[in-house]
Structure 1
């Protein structure tokens, strides 16, 4: 039981750090903006699943999905270095992908999310 409580506290602390990073990133331009004919829920679930692939991302594999304040969903990694906002756009979705830096891991995450469109 004690481990569960400690784990929950660690996740809450990471979410706080990730939240401030994500808010700051949103004030700028997304790394990439993409479109899909699929609903925001389907796209977000697919991205979350793809980002959890340990064969691709190793120990950095992680994908968490939450409802976004403005509607749609946000999928993010531990620490919030990579995240997407998936919103309704007509009959489909708009995906704004944010990455802390233009690196190979950022490109790998972009490739994984592109398969979900």
Structure 2
């Protein structure tokens, strides 16, 4: 029973994050970046760097999922920040979205930049 409740809660959270991400994607990204590294390597690095509790405290959750139109997406709880990654001719194209232009968004961007 407990496992069922956890599964239902996780499904609801993903659904809420998905609608917030879809809404954010209708706007211009907070920042567009490129990397010459493979998409999978960059995505795992971003996920790992966003999970650093020393930097982000208790809000250090980061999740990796297949992207809406291919590629991959790394996102935080409630999709406060997320990055869409797509394979490009020169490596990986990244579109970073942040719900608020605050110090947390800038910290996540700085952590993301270390993965390029």
Q: TM-score, normalised by structure 1?
A: 0.95
Instruction: Give the alignment of 1:10-21 within 5 angstroms.
Output: 10-21=9-20
DSSP-derived class of the 1:28 partner: coil
Match of 2:62 in 1: 63
Question: What is the Cα deviation at residue 10 of structure 1?
Answer: 1.3
Equivalences for residues 15-94 of structure 1 within 5 A: 15-94=14-93
Number of residues paired by the alignment?
Answer: 116
Indicate the SS of the match to 2:74.
Answer: strand
1:11 aligned counterpart, secondary structure: helix
Q: Secondary structure at the match of 1:21?
A: helix
Which secondary structure does the structure 1 equivalent of 2:111 belong to?
A: helix
Q: What are structure 2's unaligned runs of at least 5 residues?
A: none
**CA-to-partner distance for each residue in 1:81-109, whole Å, 9 max, x for gaps?**
10000001103001100000100000010
Matched residues in 2 for 1:107 and 1:3: separation? 37
- After TM superposition, which residue ranges in structure 1, 4 or more long, deviate above 3 angstroms? none
SS in 1 for 2:16: helix
TM-score scaled to structure 2, two decimals?
A: 0.96
Question: Which segment is superposed worse, 30-39 or 4-13?
Answer: 4-13
Deviation at 1:11, TM superposition (A): 1.3
